[in-house]
Amino acid sequence: MDLLALSKLGRFRSIVSVLFKYGFDDVAERLHLPGKILISKTRMAVQEMTTWERLRHTLEELGPTFVKFGQILSLRGDLLPAELIKELEKLQDSVAPVSFEEIMGVLQKALKKPLDQIFSLIDEEPLAAGSLAQVHRAVLKDENVPVALKIRRPDIVRTVEVDLQILEGAAPILCEHLEFARTYDFVNLVKELKRALLRELNFTLEARNMQIVSQALSGEKDVIIPEVYEDYTRFSVLTMDLIEGVKLKHLQPEDVEEREQLAKIGIRLVVKQVLENGFFHADPHPGNFLVVNEREVCLLDWGVVGILPSETRYEMVELIGAIVDKEAEKVLDVLVALTEANVTEINERLLLRDILEILHLYHSVTVGKLDLGQLLMDLNNMLRTHHIKLPSDLALMFKAMVTVEGTARQIYPELDVIAEIEPFIKQLGVERWSPSQIWHRFTRQLRLYLKLQSSLPGAIQRILQKVEQGELNIQFKHENLGGLQKSLDNVSNRLSFSIILGSVIIGSSMIITTGVKPLIFGYPAIGLVGYLISAVLGLIVAFNIFRSRKF
């Protein structure tokens, strides 16, 4: 969809208005948005704010969809600058609740039964109201147990679809005109956001995530994952155990031993998910931790998760070990393997130097004080400067480690993170070289070899046949040259116009010298008309050049 079609959407016009309000009118200028002059007159004064602060306020004013976009983006420290990530983390997901009648309409439509047959009580006042859903306390009638109902906001799907349509239509044009959009690959970024947001809108997927994690953490006595009631869970409704406690961000434990215990539980909970299970909560910030009975921890909001295959987890153990042992060459080898970077396109000498600088910086403190999560993010930022991109789930894992370590150290600053994760590292090291894992890797490689052996001769034969028949073609494809093509068109058009203009002037001059009648003021009328037309056309060309400011 092009900008002209997008501009017909009322939502698009409101987005453009907010861009002008917060000083992003240069975006509209470069995109040649329709109606920009009229909209610019409505621009309000913006206080002295940084670019990233203005961007955060823009997302907040654009509403629930863009707030959620920003929150998902805040998990992608591999793609965006650290200053922007810090601002996006401040986005508030708390919005005004929908009326009780509207939200009950969504619940009724989803469960397809009279609500008084399922629930003996539903509180009108929501426990929480977010950009995508709100949560109400209820009591199941037959089971007589209190539950939390997470109910999707009415019409939120339609709102998200329209906003996604606008973003998908604008992304290629933004990349064509804005260096920032090209640098951070805005087209693919929108694709990833679309996938994450649509999955988060499907509460059956969140229910499945909770069941997977609940089973994996069943042996953890200090951890609570709410039980899901499948009979009352649908695409737009999630029914789960009501867990009552205090959010970690509101907790101020005075007992040092209690703080230490909670910090260790939080670290162990996330590290076990990442290194042992390979299925983890992608955003374990303090607002998603609930402390129950002062000793147990409940992790909420499982809409966004990451998944790591076993080989990636083994390589992560090698990476952590190499970092602790200060083996820069091994860190380099593991990072190249994790990112599948093309070694022919990177400067290994410079990359190794940057790795050494980071390791020296962090080894200037004792191992117990090592900030492992931040070290991982610094490695990630370094990779970005070398144009090496992390896989999305690995980037989510880095962010999860940073977040949970920061959360744990807020509660108990003296926490020794390396000591807490060491048992998981040793366990994975033993598991990696166990006979069963060695046999598994051997059989997998054997299958790949046999498959290659059976398919390679046929592939070679087909290539040789195409060569013999002269059908082997090599195709070249250019990308992101739309701006260059447009510039060349403009140049050629102006050049042609100038040649025509010059021809008219020369022709008029020749006629003036002939004295051909009729005459005006003693000069041939045709020649004077030619001069007049040339003057008008010349002024138009000059006006367009000065207006575009490209001279």
Residues 115-145 pLDDT 10s:
999 999 999 999 988 888 999 999 999 889 9
What share of the chain in percent tops pLDDT 70? 85
* Range in 43-47, 376-380, 405-409 the model is least confident about: 43-47
**109 close to 102: Cβ distance less than 8 angstroms:** no
The DSSP result for 463-496, as a single string, is HHHHHHTT---------S-HHHHHHHHHHHHHHH
Phi-psi region of 185 (alpha: psi -120 to 50; beta: other; left: phi over 0): left
- CA 463 to each of CA 460, 468, 470, 472, 490: distance values in angstroms, whole numbers, following the listed order: 5, 9, 11, 8, 44
Among 55-64, 103-112, 328-337, where is mean pLDDT lowest? 55-64
* Interior/surface letters 495-524, b for 16+ CB within 10 angstroms, e for the rest: eeeeeebeebbeebeebbeeeeeeeeeeeb
- What residue segments make up the domains of the chain, in order of their start? 3-90+162-199, 94-161+200-244, 245-433, 439-471, 494-548
Most confident of the ranges 172-176, 235-239, 463-467, 474-478: 235-239
Q: How confident is the prediction for the chain on average, in pLDDT?
A: 79
Q: Structure pTM?
A: 0.71
CATH number given to 94-161+200-244 = 3.30.200.20
Looking at 135-139, 377-381, 447-451, which range is the least confident one? 447-451
Would you give the DSSP letter of residue 96?
P
Among 214-218, 316-320, 501-505, the range scoring the smallest mean pLDDT is 501-505
pLDDT in tens, 301-354: 898 888 888 888 888 888 888 887 888 899 888 888 888 877 777 888 898 999
pLDDT exceeds cutoff 80 at 6:
no
Q: What is the 3-state secondary structure (H, E, C) of 209-270?
A: HHHHHHHHCCCCCCEECCCECHHHCECCEEEEECCCCEEHHHCCCCCHHHHHHHHHHHHHHH
Measured CA to CA in angstroms, residue 515 lies from 32, 504, 506, 511 at distances of: 49, 17, 15, 7
Range name among 79-93, 116-130, 343-357, 410-424 with the lowest pLDDT average: 79-93
* Euclidean distance between CA atoms 276 and 437, whole angstroms: 14
**What secondary structure letter does DSSP report for 46?**
-
